[in-house]
Every structure is written in structure tokens, then in C-alpha cells.
Structure 1
């Protein structure tokens, strides 16, 4: 549950007025993994700061951490003194060096700011493209071991044939989320093994991969 002042009446009115005026944030950068465009932190700030000030609002973001994990709290403050503060967003940098922490900071600030203000920035397009990639799926290589019982999700046929397997783009996106969020390899494999009849990420169907991506993003 987020922290807030005893009253947010004035803040709520100002936020409603802000949302009536704010427009879709233009995308000005390209995701190197899926070649889709998205809005950078600088662009988002340049777009929203004048409108926030117009309605007596300001965004404040407070970084922190314990030397291993990075945390960020985002606060929306009204000129009346009313405020709403998010729960800390905790992330583990891929590399614990200035560059890794800087990248983690930008990522956290961008997503926290967009979520706090309910902005339309198109930043989740990479997940959408990964889930609906047109890249042909390659079945996992056959092994000499005896075949195990496969789940009905992957073997049940319909008029359109068996369910399609996970795409290469989905696999790449799953590993990107794992690295961005600092999920260990053991935890990653355990999440896959929790899916009935699955031992490897290459065995997931496209629909199972979509659910798996949502679980990773929610961690």
C-alpha cells in the first residue's frame, strides 16, 4: 500500500486536470532487442514537467539501496502539501558498477514515473512484440531418452493443428527480463519447472510463454 497524506483532495483534483491535458508521449528511442520505438526518460520529463507545474504538482524520486539491490521511491506532491508516495521499487543491477547502477536508475525512474502518472508511452511494446512475434518457432531437439507424458496444452490438436511453440523472440525477452530483474538461474528454471509437463523454456507454447512473461514482469 502506498503512503499518502491524510487528505489528497487537492492533489486528486490537480491530477485529474493534468490527465485531461497530457497527451501520448512521443517515442524517441529504439529498443535494440526488438527494434521497437519507446519514449526515453528525458522525453517523458520534458513533456510532463510543464503540465505538472501548471497544476501545482511535482514528481520527486529518491534512490537508495543496500550495496547489492537498488531501490527507488517515487512521490507525487501538490503545492498544498498533500502527497502520494509509491512503495519502494527494488531491482538488482545486472552489473554492480557505475554503469550498471546508472542503467538501473534510468529504467526504474522511467517506469515508476510512467506508472505514477498513468502515462501512455508505449514502453511495453517490446513485451507485446515478443508475445506475438511472427518468428517461426523451432521445436526442441530430440533426445534419446524415453518420451515423457506431455501436457494436453502442447499435444491437443484442433482444426488449426497443435499449439505453436515459444518463439525465439519470446525466449530472448524472457532472458532479458531475468537479467534486468536479477532473477537467479535456479529461480528461473524453477519457475519453468512449475509449469506442468515443462522442463525447458523451449518446451513452452506461445500462450504459456505469454503467461510466463507476465509472471517475470510481476516479480
Structure 2
């Protein structure tokens, strides 16, 4: 049986009866970008906080940071997504849980997905930041202390600027991973890019067209991420 490829399918009405399949794919792309960008901002903040926490002399901070990393890196992302969406509203105070469950779509799916992806990626960024900080020569820290720098000033003016230059490549890869990992939100009903492509495939049976479009868009998004980071890195230098 020959498969009849028809790219005109993108101009037909999608399942919602309002948008075309092309518009639905583009809306899904918008949700992918929103989820990945917001999650990456939170992940960077968490990674910086706990990454520094893993390198300070304070044992309690190192322990807390270590627990965070091992917990969120040790559980599969899909399992965490289900926990945030199905379990968390049931274990938090009922008033708050009911408010979360009562949110309209797609926010009822977007917010749990954002929390999940932020914490998961933040654990990976933590290890990247930790390795960057520990790669800075110890003698530079000692020299800064000898010059009268406080602990915070040593990190702010000596260690972190050098560490960030070292971790740009792995952070770029992690940002690309955040874009790709956002597709897991499809499993809780968020119609991001992969979810929109799957919806198109199930409704129209045009599997090749749906996932070819999704593949191309993911490729464009990740190439854009790489080129943007490279340009920022060149401007910094």
C-alpha cells in the first residue's frame, strides 16, 4: 500500500475546528518556547544557587545541595512529571490543590510541567556550575583572600566570572536538552509542539507530515539556541 503524502493537510481544520493544522503546530511551538524558556530561567537560578552551595565550606549547605541534585537527577523526568501533575495537588493543602486542579487548560498542565522541568534541569545545571567553580585554580581564591576580599567578593569577582566562561558549552547543551525535554509535558495533556504533532497525526493520520514538521521546528529551535549563545559569548569576549 502506497502512502499518499499531502502537505496540503496543514491548511485543513484541526481537531478544535478553529485553527488549521499549521496554526495548531505553531501554537504548540509557542508553548514549547514558553515552557523551555521559563524553565531555563528558573533552572539557571537554581543551578547557580545550589552549584555554589556544593562548593562552600558550610557542610549543611553542601548536604542540602547534594540532596537536591541526587533526588531530582535520580528520578526519571517522566515519573517526576506525573508526580507534579497527579500527586502533588493531592498532598498539598486541599485549598491550594483544588485551586491548581481548577485552573483552565492549558495552565493546569503548564504550571506543573514548568515546576517539574525547572527542578529537573536545575539539578543538572547545579553540577555544571559546581564543576566550573572547582575548575578555577585554587591559588586565585587564596590570592583574593590575601588581598582582603570577603567570601562573597571572592565568588562574585574572581571565581564566578571565570567559571561561567568555562561552562558555556555544557550550559548550551543543557539548554538544548531543556527544549527537547519539554516534549514530556505532552504526557500530562499540554499541547506543546510534540503534543500538537501527535494530535494532528491521530486526527488526520498524516504521520509523516506531522512529525516532519515537528522535527524541522525542533532543529531550527536548537540551532537558534546554539548560534545565540555563540554570539553572546563572542560579544562577551
Q: Which has the higher helix share?
A: 2
Whether the TM-score (by the shorter chain) exceeds 0.5 is no
TM-score where L is the length of structure 1: 0.28
Structure with higher RCO (Cα < 8 A, 6+ apart): 2
